[in-house]
């Protein structure tokens, strides 16, 4: 397989599985402190909400 075909296949697989979005997010977070803070606050909020739901449900 040629290098160009291999790169195209790799790009397709990463795009299909969603890994390329995570790679792009981490690259952007390395460059932007504001984005990093926003992602951390969002994760804390979502995890807190699920913890709240689990406590309300009695699990």
The domain in which residue 20 lies consists of 3-57
Residue 58's alpha-carbon distances to 5, 42, 55, in angstroms, are 53, 24, 5
**Mean pLDDT throughout 28-55?**
97
- Does residue 1 carry a pLDDT above 80? no
Find where tokens 């449900």 sit.
Answer: 57
Domains in the chain: how many in total?
A: 1
**Mean pLDDT throughout 15-35?**
87
- Does residue 3 carry a pLDDT above 90? no
DSSP 58: T
Find where tokens 């952007």 sit.
Answer: 28
- Does residue 47 carry a pLDDT above 80? yes
């Amino acid at each position: 397989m040629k290098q160009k075909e291999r790169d195209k296949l790799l790009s397709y697989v990463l795009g299909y599985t969603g890994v390329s979005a995570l790679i792009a997010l981490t690259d952007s977070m390395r460059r932007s402190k504001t984005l990093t803070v926003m992602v951390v606050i969002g994760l804390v909020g979502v995890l807190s909400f699920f913890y709240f739901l689990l406590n309300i449900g009695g699990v």
